[in-house]
């Protein structure tokens, strides 16, 4: 019958967006605090969307997360990092889109070669999460180098080690977390989706 | 009597699952209230989905108002059928009550001014107009089902299918929704198919069809169907309250002439029994 | 959370409430861009005057704005301090390792503080006077020109409105799942790192499973109601451009021009 | 009988100290006896769920104290101490199948016991027992819970609660969405856990027939207050009062009401089919003897 799968895809994307909105607003399901750091669970959600719905949809969900991060950096920032870094739409949106793309490409490539689906998902999740960290760091550096206008004119030369420190120390546990948790969540969900469509 | 829906020798199974229907046939008469009863998993909800073209038949055909259910006709058929589903939460598409009623109209590209009039009338007819600004999170299950019914009225269909529409409501909400549908059915001369395992809901129907494991066990008036309480029990359904009472009386050597009477008949009979004159 | 996303809207009938969401949305964006160009007291003064007029026109009491800023105050102080301590140039009063305070850094710190306030004020006016749904509709209107290049604007808008509609539902379900797993002995938000990581799974799997079920059932219900293509639908809610929108835009453009003029002179 | 649970002047306010503050429980005092089968009834939003969540220490009182066996919950009880409470109180939420998450049925059932520090072997043992108790075939143990039917999933979820071997079991509308057979099986299970395993059962329900068929004690809630407690016979003795609380009567009581309206004397209102049949049989016999 007409476009059955289009409607389902529309609604699945809508539900993922709703979950991302929840995760950016409720610490308990969005972040895991470890001492002074808070590692975010949201890259995991983006990779789950990628595994279940495909690379393009994963990138869309990543992009939505980025747009929410961008808007919130202005009206409801959650960390000093947000007020300094994520007010730049390229730094807040582009790396998040790339999570979906990189994880998607990795998953598609690995799925054919590896027997265990959970291993493919795990590697894709680690790569997706690291993509985010590396791109955010790279873009901060790039924008600092090119002396682009900033909302809050802070002397980046002195701040750079601090920023790299924060993003880096968050990035590694984040990647480990994604690698462990994503397959545990995505595998049963993949069964459910496959069985019903 | 004209048959508004003709189900002709259909077969169906979900992918990777055993055959659910194998050569099932059934007719729905125009203007009747038909109750489809059976256990969970008996196939009664699937039947509703097949009628509405939400699943595709393996074999046989279904005609709705003379049109076979297929890709070419499916939108025309959905114009004729309004469905109310079990979970009130999962059929509320709009962000507010008003937007939800408008959803079906928007799909049909109805003109905006006309849309506003229809939404207002439909919400008034289910007494939900004062709630038009509410978001679904602030409505009870029964109120959400009322909105779902308003959304159906807005499209002026010929058939309403209640797919266990009252099973997640409390007893009051259940009665309330059934009364509302009954009233709308009379007013707009509709055909109603109610899929249910609530035997009291079935008792109010013109005709009852029992489905078990994808097979039609029987179709008849409630009075005839309820004559065999043991069969209802065997396929995991409830026995009407009056039959339970008749059975309990029979154990106490008070025997009724029939195994099923409706409430009024039973009261009359008991009255005769105990009157001393 | 509820307060941040949904409870924030205050029903009303003020000038600002009556403006179309698309112009409120674009004006907020425009205002933030103009802030980038402010570089002295006079230009900040002009923007502050404009935002005060906007707040007064919104009919929302000033305490609401103060309440909105309160949870952010530490963040603002922190960012302003960073600015003060890490600014380069000017006459240095104090220095310690990488930190320094100069006259220029103090002035810059002051400006950053004002920028924060201005941005928070304009976004608070937007969210206090516009429902999330209206904002989604505003986005749809603003993006409409993209339809010409076959960008699925209407699909996106429908997706967004369904997402917003299901946020409270999923939040509710999350509360129940949280309680159910708690009563099965899970301690959320405490324990070792390993424990915390593990605790995410019994929470997230049911949350996602529920979301998938909603998506499936909703798809069925939508199709039963004649949905087939999100790009060919009429629209129930339409926000027309009004005189108020034109007047507001003219006022904002004038202040923007003023800021640029001050910057040049 | 000993008290299993007692509420002493408990008030619970949601979002206390905000403009949205509302009392979900208002000065509630009640006791629930050890090994009783208690039904909690009241229309939607009357505070039933808030009440039972206090028994499981999922909510703490804003004022007052709750005693579960010998342990006390007060407004100042720290969150760390709450886990100990939950161990002895099993809570089956509405649509409990929504809480399943593990790879296999058996792992999901073992999840609770393991959280309370039970060894892998003991947890497995408890899970196997619980599966038998709820009537789940052992062949399902290694299956994914998501491959089961809705009814089976609900049993898995309930087994997951029973595997913790609670002394008090709270069932929040356990029959919602089940078909008549599933309904009957669920209530039979509750009865068995009460009669055979000596559990204290607390049933939150809208089904008045279940109340009269299974419960010995009833608590009626309305707008955050307990408005009546007593045996089912005491609760349903006044139909007018029941209707005013937006509740229904049990089928037999309602049918008896209609017989009374038709002029047939009933005496004490019957609650169950058997009571009503007894009464009618009595009247018939009396009528016969007078006719002779």
Cβ distance C205 to D101 less than 8 Å, yes or no, reads yes
Last residue of a domain, one of D194, D212, D237: D237
How far are the Cα atoms of A109, B65, D57, D89 from residue D170, in angstroms, in the given order? 49, 50, 12, 7
Does A41 have pLDDT greater than 60?
yes
In this structure, the answer to whether residues D146 and D224 fall within a common structural domain is yes
* Residue C108: per-residue pLDDT: 79
* Residue with more model confidence, B80 or B16: B80
Does residue B74 belong to the interface with chain A, where contact is any CB pair within 8 Å?
A: yes
Residue A145, class by beta-carbon neighbours within 10 Å (0-12 exposed, 13-18 middle, 19+ buried)?
Answer: exposed
In this structure, the answer to whether residues C209 and C115 fall within a common structural domain is no
* Residue A35: per-residue pLDDT: 67
Cβ distance D53 to C202 less than 8 Å, yes or no, reads no
Q: Residue C3: which pLDDT band, with cuts at 50, 70 and 90?
A: very low
Does D224 have pLDDT greater than 70?
yes
The total of other beta-carbon atoms located within 10 Å of residue D51's CB is 27
Cβ distance B197 to D180 less than 8 Å, yes or no, reads yes
For residue D160, the enclosing domain spans 3-237
Q: Distance (Å) from the C-alpha of residue B93 to the closest C-alpha of chain D? A: 22
In this structure, the answer to whether residues C95 and C137 fall within a common structural domain is yes
Q: Residue C4: which pLDDT band, with cuts at 50, 70 and 90?
A: very low
- CB pairs below 8 Å between A and B: how many? 10
In this structure, the answer to whether residues C52 and C177 fall within a common structural domain is no
Residue D245 domain-assigned (yes or no): no
Cβ distance C207 to A83 less than 8 Å, yes or no, reads no
Distance (Å, rounded) from C-alpha C61 to C-alpha A45?
A: 39
Tell me the average pLDDT of chain B.
92
In this structure, the answer to whether residues C211 and C255 fall within a common structural domain is no
Does B134 have pLDDT greater than 80?
yes
Does D17 have pLDDT greater than 80?
no
Q: Distance (Å) from the C-alpha of residue D226 to the closest C-alpha of chain C? A: 24
Residue C116 domain-assigned (yes or no): yes
Strand extents, DSSP E, D34-148 = 37-41, 63-68, 71-73, 89-92
Residues of B with CB under 8 A from a CB of C: 49, 52, 54, 75, 78-79, 81, 83, 85, 87, 89-96, 98-99, 102-112, 115-116, 119, 135-137, 151, 155
How far are the Cα atoms of A142, C55, C123, C259 from residue A73, in angstroms, in the given order? 20, 22, 11, 24
Output DSSP code: residue B12.
Answer: E
B98: which chain C residues are within 8 Å (Cβ-Cβ)?
236
* Residue D258: per-residue pLDDT: 93
Residue C230 domain-assigned (yes or no): no
* Residue D23: per-residue pLDDT: 73
In this structure, the answer to whether residues D230 and D261 fall within a common structural domain is no
Best probe of the C interface among A155, A177, A186, by most C CBs < 10 A, is A155
Cβ atoms D126, D97 nearer than 8 A: no
Cβ distance A11 to C164 less than 8 Å, yes or no, reads no
pLDDT 10s digits, A48-107: 999 999 999 999 999 999 998 888 887 777 776 777 778 788 999 999 999 999 999 999
Question: Which among D14, D80, D21, D17 has a CA at the least distance from the CA of D53?
Answer: D14
Q: Residue C6: which pLDDT band, with cuts at 50, 70 and 90?
A: very low
D148: which chain B residues are within 8 Å (Cβ-Cβ)?
none
In this structure, the answer to whether residues D25 and D54 fall within a common structural domain is yes
* SS3 category, D83: helix
Does D97 have pLDDT greater than 90?
yes
Q: What is the CATH number of the domain that holds D218?
A: 3.40.50.300
* Residue C104: per-residue pLDDT: 76
* Residue with more model confidence, A163 or D202: D202
Cβ distance C210 to D116 less than 8 Å, yes or no, reads no
For residue C187, the enclosing domain spans 153-224
Cβ atoms A42, A23 nearer than 8 A: yes
Q: In chain A, where are the structural domains located?
A: 2-196
Residue C10, class by beta-carbon neighbours within 10 Å (0-12 exposed, 13-18 middle, 19+ buried)?
Answer: middle
CA-based torsion, C179, C185, C189, C193: positive or negative: negative
Tell which phi-psi region holds residue D192, choosing left (phi > 0), alpha (psi between -120 and 50) or beta. alpha
* Residue A195: per-residue pLDDT: 75
Cβ distance A188 to D147 less than 8 Å, yes or no, reads no
Q: Distance (Å) from the C-alpha of residue C166 to the closest C-alpha of chain B? A: 9
Distance (Å, rounded) from C-alpha D164 to C-alpha D161?
A: 6
In this structure, the answer to whether residues D230 and D285 fall within a common structural domain is no
Contact partners, residue D45, CB within 8 Å, separation at least 6 = none
Residue D244, class by beta-carbon neighbours within 10 Å (0-12 exposed, 13-18 middle, 19+ buried)?
Answer: exposed
Does D194 have pLDDT greater than 70?
yes
In this structure, the answer to whether residues D279 and D207 fall within a common structural domain is no
Nearest chain A residue to D100 by CA distance is: A188
Q: Distance (Å) from the C-alpha of residue D58 to the closest C-alpha of chain C? A: 7
This prediction's pTM: 0.92
Find residue A31's DSSP bridge partners: A40
Domain count, chain D: 2
Distance (Å, rounded) from C-alpha A71 to C-alpha C29?
A: 10
Does B269 have pLDDT greater than 80?
yes
* SS3 category, C93: strand
Residue B186, class by beta-carbon neighbours within 10 Å (0-12 exposed, 13-18 middle, 19+ buried)?
Answer: exposed
* Residue with more model confidence, A159 or B104: B104
Structure tokens at B6: 């003709």
Q: Distance (Å) from the C-alpha of residue A140 to the closest C-alpha of chain C? A: 16
Residue D108 domain-assigned (yes or no): yes
Distance (Å, rounded) from C-alpha B261 to C-alpha D266?
A: 21
* SS3 category, C218: helix
CATH class of the region A2-196? mainly alpha
Structure tokens at A97: 């889109």
D258: which chain B residues are within 8 Å (Cβ-Cβ)?
263, 267
* Residue with more model confidence, C65 or C129: C129
Best probe of the D interface among C4, C169, C185, C209, by most D CBs < 10 A, is C185
In this structure, the answer to whether residues D212 and D255 fall within a common structural domain is no
Does B207 have pLDDT greater than 80?
yes
**Least confident range of B128-132, C110-114, D33-37, D214-218:** C110-114
Residues of A with CB under 8 A from a CB of D: 187-188, 191-192, 195
Residue D242 domain-assigned (yes or no): no
- Those of residues 51-110 in D touching chain A at CB distance below 8 A are 101, 103
**Strands D200-204 and D168-172, how do they pair?**
parallel
Cβ atoms B134, C200 nearer than 8 A: no
ipTM for the whole complex: 0.92
B91: which chain A residues are within 8 Å (Cβ-Cβ)?
none
Residue C7 domain-assigned (yes or no): no
In this structure, the answer to whether residues C114 and C87 fall within a common structural domain is yes
* Residue D192: per-residue pLDDT: 95
Residue C6 domain-assigned (yes or no): no
Q: Residue D164: which pLDDT band, with cuts at 50, 70 and 90?
A: very high
Residue D243 domain-assigned (yes or no): no
Does residue C214 belong to the interface with chain B, where contact is any CB pair within 8 Å?
A: yes
Domain count, chain C: 2
Does A153 have pLDDT greater than 60?
no
Q: Distance (Å) from the C-alpha of residue B190 to the closest C-alpha of chain D? A: 27
pLDDT 10s digits, B40-67: 888 899 999 999 999 989 899 999 999 9
Nearest chain A residue to C154 by CA distance is: A10
Structure tokens at C9: 């809207």
Tell me the average pLDDT of chain A.
85
* Residue A154: per-residue pLDDT: 58
* Residue D21: per-residue pLDDT: 61
In this structure, the answer to whether residues D88 and D197 fall within a common structural domain is yes
Cβ distance C176 to D116 less than 8 Å, yes or no, reads no
Does C70 have pLDDT greater than 80?
no
A26: which chain C residues are within 8 Å (Cβ-Cβ)?
1, 171, 174
Strand extents, DSSP E, chain B = 3-12, 21-29, 33-37, 59-64, 67-68, 81-84, 159-163, 191-196, 207-212, 215-220
Nearest chain A residue to B69 by CA distance is: A1
* Residue with more model confidence, C226 or C101: C226
Last residue of a domain, one of D194, D210, D237: D237
In this structure, the answer to whether residues D201 and D256 fall within a common structural domain is no
Cβ distance B109 to C234 less than 8 Å, yes or no, reads yes
Q: Residue D16: which pLDDT band, with cuts at 50, 70 and 90?
A: low
Does A15 have pLDDT greater than 60?
yes
Give one DSSP letter per residue of A65-76, joined into a string.
HHHHHHHHHHHS
Tell me the average pLDDT of chain D.
91
In this structure, the answer to whether residues D136 and D212 fall within a common structural domain is yes
Percent of all residues in chain B with a pLDDT value above 70, rounded to a whole number: 99
Q: Residue C5: which pLDDT band, with cuts at 50, 70 and 90?
A: very low
- CB pairs below 8 Å between A and C: how many? 165
B151: which chain C residues are within 8 Å (Cβ-Cβ)?
225
Distance (Å, rounded) from C-alpha A150 to C-alpha C87?
A: 13
In this structure, the answer to whether residues D33 and D136 fall within a common structural domain is yes
Does C2 have pLDDT greater than 60?
no
Does residue C165 belong to the interface with chain B, where contact is any CB pair within 8 Å?
A: yes
* Residue with more model confidence, D124 or C77: D124
* SS3 category, D2: coil
* Residue C87: per-residue pLDDT: 67
Nearest chain A residue to B54 by CA distance is: A1
Residue C9 domain-assigned (yes or no): no
Residue C122 domain-assigned (yes or no): yes
**Least confident range of A163-177, B259-273, C95-109, D160-174:** C95-109
Q: Residue A157: which pLDDT band, with cuts at 50, 70 and 90?
A: low
């Amino acid at each position: 019958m007409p476009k059955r799968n289009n409607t389902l895809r529309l609604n699945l994307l809508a539900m993922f967006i709703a979950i991302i909105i929840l995760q950016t607003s409720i610490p308990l399901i969005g972040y895991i605090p470890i001492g002074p750091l808070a590692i975010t669970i949201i890259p995991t959600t983006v990779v789950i969307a990628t595994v279940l719905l495909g690379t393009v949809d994963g990138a869309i969900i990543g992009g939505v997360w980025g747009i929410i991060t961008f808007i919130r950096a202005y009206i409801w920032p959650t960390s000093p990092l947000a007020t300094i870094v994520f007010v730049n739409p390229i730094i807040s949106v582009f790396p998040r889109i790339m999570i979906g793309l990189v994880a998607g490409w990795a998953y598609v490539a690995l799925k054919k070669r590896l027997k265990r689906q959970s291993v493919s998902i795990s590697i894709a999740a680690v790569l997706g999460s690291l993509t985010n960290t590396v791109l955010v760091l790279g873009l901060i550096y790039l924008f600092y180098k090119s002396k682009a206008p900033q909302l809050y004119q802070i002397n980046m030369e002195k701040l750079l080690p601090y920023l790299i420190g924060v993003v880096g120390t968050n990035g590694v546990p984040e990647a480990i977390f994604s690698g462990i948790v994503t397959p545990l969540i995505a595998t049963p969900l993949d069964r459910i989706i496959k069985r019903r469509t | 009597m004209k048959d508004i829906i003709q189900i002709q020798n259909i077969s169906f199974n979900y992918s990777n699952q055993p055959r659910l229907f194998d050569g099932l046939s059934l007719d729905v008469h125009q203007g009747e209230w038909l109750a489809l009863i059976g256990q969970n998993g008996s196939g009664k909800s699937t039947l509703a989905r097949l009628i509405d073209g939400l699943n595709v038949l393996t074999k046989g055909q279904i005609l709705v108002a003379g049109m076979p259910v297929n890709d070419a006709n499916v939108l025309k058929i959905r114009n004729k059928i309004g469905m109310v589903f079990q979970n009130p939460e999962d059929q509320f598409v709009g962000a507010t009550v008003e937007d939800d009623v408008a959803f079906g109209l928007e799909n049909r590209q109805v003109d905006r001014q006309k849309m506003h009039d229809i939404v207002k009338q439909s919400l008034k007819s289910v007494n939900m107009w004062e709630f038009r600004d509410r978001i679904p999170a602030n409505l009870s299950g029964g109120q959400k089902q009322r909105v779902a019914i308003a959304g159906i009225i807005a499209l002026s269909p010929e058939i309403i299918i209640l797919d266990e529409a009252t099973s997640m409501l409390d007893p009051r909400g259940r009665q309330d929704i059934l009364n509302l549908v009954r009233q709308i059915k009379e007013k707009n001369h509709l055909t109603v198919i109610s899929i249910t395992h609530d035997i009291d809901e079935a008792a109010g129907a013109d005709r009852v069809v029992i489905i078990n494991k994808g097979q039609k066990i029987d179709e008849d008036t409630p009075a005839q169907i309820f004559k065999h309480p043991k069969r209802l029990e065997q396929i995991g359904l409830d026995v009407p309250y009056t039959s339970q009472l008749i059975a309990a009386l029979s154990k106490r050597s008070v025997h009724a002439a029939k195994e099923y009477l409706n409430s009024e008949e039973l009261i009359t009979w008991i009255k005769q029994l105990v009157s001393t004159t | 959370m509820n307060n941040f996303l949904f409870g924030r809207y205050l029903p009303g009938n003020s000038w600002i409430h009556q403006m179309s969401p698309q112009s409120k949305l674009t004006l907020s964006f425009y205002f933030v861009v103009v802030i980038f160009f402010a570089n002295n007291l006079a230009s900040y003064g002009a923007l502050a005057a404009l935002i005060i007029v906007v707040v007064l026109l919104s009919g929302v009491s000033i305490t609401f704005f103060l309440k909105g800023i309160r949870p952010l105050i530490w963040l603002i102080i922190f960012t302003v301090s960073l600015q003060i301590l890490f600014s380069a140039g000017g006459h240095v009063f104090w220095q310690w390792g990488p930190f320094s305070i100069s006259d220029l850094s103090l002035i810059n710190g002051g400006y950053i503080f004002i920028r924060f306030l201005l941005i928070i004020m304009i976004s608070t006016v937007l969210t206090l006077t516009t429902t999330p749904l209206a904002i989604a509709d505003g986005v749809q209107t603003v993006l409409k020109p993209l339809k010409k290049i076959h960008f699925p604007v209407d699909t996106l808008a429908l997706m967004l409105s369904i997402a917003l509609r299901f946020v409270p539902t999923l939040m509710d379900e999350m509360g129940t799942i949280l309680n159910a797993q708690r009563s099965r002995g899970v301690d959320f938000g405490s324990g070792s790192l390993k424990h915390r990581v593990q605790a995410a799974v019994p929470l997230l799997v049911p949350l996602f499973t529920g979301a998938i079920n909603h998506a499936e059932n909703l798809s069925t219900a939508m199709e039963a109601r004649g949905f087939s293509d999100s790009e060919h639908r009429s629209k129930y809610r339409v926000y027309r451009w009004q005189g108020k929108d034109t007047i507001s835009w003219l006022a904002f453009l004038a202040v923007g021009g003023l800021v640029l003029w001050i910057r040049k002179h | 009988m000993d008290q299993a649970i007692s509420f002493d002047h408990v008030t619970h306010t949601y979002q206390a100290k905000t403009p949205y503050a509302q009392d979900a429980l208002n000065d509630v005092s009640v006791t629930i006896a050890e090994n009783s089968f208690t039904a909690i009834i009241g229309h939607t939003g009357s505070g039933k769920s808030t009440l039972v969540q206090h028994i499981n220490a999922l909510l703490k009182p804003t004022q007052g104290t709750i005693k579960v066996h010998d342990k006390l919950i007060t407004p100042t009880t720290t969150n760390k101490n709450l886990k100990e409470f939950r161990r002895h109180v099993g809570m089956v939420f509405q649509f409990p199948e929504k809480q399943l998450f593990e790879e296999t049925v058996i792992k999901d059932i073992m999840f609770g016991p393991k959280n309370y520090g039970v060894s892998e072997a003991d947890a497995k043992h408890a899970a196997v027992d619980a599966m038998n108790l709820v009537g789940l075939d052992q062949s399902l143990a290694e299956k994914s819970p998501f491959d089961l039917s809705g009814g089976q999933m609900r049993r898995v979820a309930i087994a997951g609660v029973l595997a913790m071997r609670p002394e008090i079991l709270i069932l929040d509308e356990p029959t919602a969405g089940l078909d008549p057979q599933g309904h009957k099986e669920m209530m039979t299970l509750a009865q068995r856990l009460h009669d055979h395993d000596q559990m204290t059962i607390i049933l939150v329900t809208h089904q008045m027939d279940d109340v009269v068929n299974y419960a010995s004690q009833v608590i009626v809630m309305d707008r955050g207050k307990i408005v009546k407690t007593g045996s089912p016979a005491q609760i349903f003795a006044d139909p007018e009062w029941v209707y005013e609380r937006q509740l229904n009567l049990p089928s037999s009581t309602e049918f008896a009401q209609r017989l009374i309206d038709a002029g047939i004397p009933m005496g004490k209102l019957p609650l169950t089919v058997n009571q009503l049949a007894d009464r009618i049989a009595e009247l018939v016999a009396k009528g016969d003897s007078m006719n002779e």
